[in-house]
Amino acid sequence: MVRPDRLPRAVQRTLGRQVTLSQPSEAGAATLSPPVPRLSVESLWMTFANNRVLRDVAIDVRPGEIHGLIGQNGSGKSTLAKVLTGLYTPDPGASVAVDGVPLQLPVRPDESRARGVAVVHQSLGLVDSESVLENMRVGRLTGSRFLHRIDWRRERQAATDVFERLGRSVPLDAKVGTLREEERATVAIARALQDAHAGTGLIIFDESTRALGRRSLEHFFQILDEIVATGTAVLLITHRLEEIVDAADRVTVLRDGRVVESGREVVGLNEADLTALMLGRNLDDLDRRELPVIAADAVPVRVEGLTGLGVTDVSLEVAPGEVLGLTGLVGSGYEDIPYLLSGVTPATAGSVTLPSGTVALKGLSPATAIEAGISLVPEGREFSGLAMNLSAAENATFPETSRSKRALLPIRRGPESDRVAEWMNRLDVRPRAPKALVKTFSGGNQQKILLAKWLATAPMLFILHEPTQAVDVGARHTLVAAIRAAARDGRAIIVAGSDENELALLCDRILVFGDGVVRQELTGDLSPDSIVEAIYTNGSRSRLRQPKL
Ligand X SMILES: Nc1ncnc2c1ncn2[C@@H]1O[C@H](COP(=O)(O)OP(=O)(O)OP(=O)(O)O)[C@@H](O)[C@H]1O
Q: Do residues 246 and 217 lie in contact, with contact meaning Cβ atoms separated by under 8 Å?
A: no
Taking the least distance from each CB to ligand X, the nearer of 232 and 447 is 447
Residue 351: partners with Cβ closer than 8 Å, 6 or more residues away? 303, 304, 305, 358, 359, 360, 361
The minimum distance between CB 429 and ligand X, in angstroms, equals 10
Query: Cβ(393)–Cβ(417) under 8 Å?
Result: yes
Indicate the residue among 375 and 442 with the shorter CB distance to ligand X. 442
Find the shortest distance in angstroms from Cβ 372 to ligand X. Answer: 33
Please, what is the minimum distance in Å from the beta carbon of residue 58 to ligand X? 17
Per CB under 6 A, residues contacting ligand X are 48, 51, 53, 71, 73-79, 122, 431, 440-445, 472
**Residue 342, C-beta contacts closer than 8 angstroms, at least 6 positions apart:** 364, 366, 369, 374, 375, 376, 463
List residues bridging with 33 in a β-sheet: 20
Which among 504, 449, 515, 512 has a CA at the least distance from the CA of 482? 449
> Kind and range of the H or E element at 68?
strand 66-71
Residue 70 beta carbon to ligand X: minimum distance, rounded to whole angstroms: 9
Exposed / middle / buried, residue 129 (Cβ in 10 Å: 0-12, 13-18, 19+) = exposed
| Residues 227, 196 contacting (CB under 8 angstroms) | yes
Q: Which is nearer to ligand X, 257 or 497 (CB)?
A: 257
Least CB distance from residue 483 to ligand X, whole Å?
18
Nearer to ligand X, 73 or 498 (CB): 73
Taking only Cα atoms into account, the Rg of the chain, rounded to an integer number of angstroms, comes to: 25
Residue 180 · residue 124 · CB < 8 Å: no
The minimum distance between CB 268 and ligand X, in angstroms, equals 25
Between 18 and 78, CB nearer to ligand X: 78
Nearer to ligand X, 109 or 490 (CB): 109
| Backbone angles phi and psi of 500, in degrees to 5 | -65, -30
Q: Cβ 286 to ligand X, closest distance in Å? A: 19
**CB nearer ligand X, residue 81 or residue 464:** 81
